[in-house]
Amino acid sequence: MFASLHCDNENVTAKTLAELGEFGLISLVQESLGSSDYVLIGSGDDAAHIATADGTYLVSTDLLIEGQHFRRDWSSANDIGRKAIAVNLSDINAMGGVATALTVGLAAPGDLEVAWLRELLAGMVAECDKVGAHIVGGDVSAADHVILSITTMGDAERPVPRSGAQPGDVVAVVGELGMAGAGLGALSRGFRSPKAAVDRQRVPEPPYAAGPVASAAGATSLIDVSDGLIADLGHIAKASNVAIDVSSAAFEIPDAVQTVASALGGMDPLGFVLTGAEDYALVGTFGSTEAVPEGWRPIGRVQTGTGVTVDGQPYENAAGFEHWR
């Protein structure tokens, strides 16, 4: 779903989409969004929460376009299928829900190999199986590149939005951080190792069970780390109207991240952990240390104010990925 809520950069003078930028376009689309009694949680969260005549469901959608989100020379069809589903299931996880049903839009060029498509679909189904979700329908079309459009529906007993963090809450994370970003760094320079990081860039391993656990534990806010930890904590801070400070000492640097940071000329490995995208870990806030579920790592505190800091200081270079840049 949309990465951020109520963006400020209303670039009314932009003539083209490239000038407007990704967040400007999201702003433009958000102006078109409707609200009504049955929109319980609307745009700007990981998923929307919608009422039916007799119940509720969560829904989230993601577009994945060849060249923008995946490369056929970097990843197998199976891996592309798994990742496409994983990023969608993660959105439902990030609401504290369990995904149940998905629709798939698939467009592709005529010269695409059928064997590649079979592998793509097998990867999709394998990832769905991890949470017991099913593809229930879709649409196909011709296109110049492979395009995947996935919409995921799910259930949550108590959906957890981004907007409930309170000053004094403990910030905690579950899942890997920095691995996918380090893998992207390696692949971008033509490396195919370290395998652990490259594999994670190709296929994330979201902690699927953790979202419902966080919901049951009373999490006050929740988001998945898709844009990078600092950027995604920024979405919580903004939606909740609070500040968040994280402690650099709270993080372990995975070996593979350390290896990539060294190989790329002595970069700070903490940078991958704090700003690397696409790990699909979960980060949330809890009312007390005791409320943090087992397996989650406390990394900071919610405070009054705005913005995200590391050890009390602004963190440089914290911008997430943006299209048309």
Q: Is 309 in the site for its own copies (CB under 8 A)?
A: no
Residue 140 sits at the vertex; the CA angle it makes with 149 and 87, to the nearest 5 degrees, is: 20
Per-residue x/- marks for its own copies, 255-294, CB under 8 A? ----------------------------------------
Shortest distance, position 104 Cβ to its own copies, whole Å: 7
171-210 residues near its own copies, rule: CB under 8 A = none
Residue 1 vs 299, nearer CB to its own copies: 1
Q: Is 62 in the site for its own copies (CB under 8 A)?
A: yes
Alpha helix segments (H runs only) across 195-254? 195-202, 210-216, 229-240
CA separation for the pair 138, 135 (Å, rounded):
8
Shortest distance, position 162 Cβ to its own copies, whole Å: 13
Residue 64 vs 273, nearer CB to its own copies: 64
Which of residues 4, 60, 75, 78 is near its own copies by CB under 8 A?
A: 60
Q: Is 145 in the site for its own copies (CB under 8 A)?
A: yes
Query: Measuring CA to CA, how many Å separate 124 from each of 80, 112, 135, 155?
Result: 8, 18, 9, 20
* DSSP code for 71: -
84-143 residues near its own copies, rule: CB under 8 A = 100-101, 103-115, 117-118, 121-122, 124-125, 128, 132-143
Q: Is 61 in the site for its own copies (CB under 8 A)?
A: yes
The set of residues, in sequence order, having a beta carbon less than 8 Å from that of 303 and lying 6+ positions away, is: 167, 242, 243, 244, 245
Q: Is 218 in the site for its own copies (CB under 8 A)?
A: no
29-58 residues near its own copies, rule: CB under 8 A = 29, 31-36, 38-39, 42-43, 47-48, 50, 52-57
Residues in the chain: 325
Q: Is 5 in the site for its own copies (CB under 8 A)?
A: no
Query: Measuring CA to CA, how many Å separate 253 from each of 37, 212, 257, 260, 271?
Result: 45, 27, 7, 11, 10
Sheet harboring 48-51: ordered strands across?
39-41, 48-51, 56-65, 147-155, 98-108, 134-142
Residue 66 vs 245, nearer CB to its own copies: 66
Q: Is 68 in the site for its own copies (CB under 8 A)?
A: yes
List the one residue out of 238, 214, 199, 181 whose CA is nearest residue 92.
214
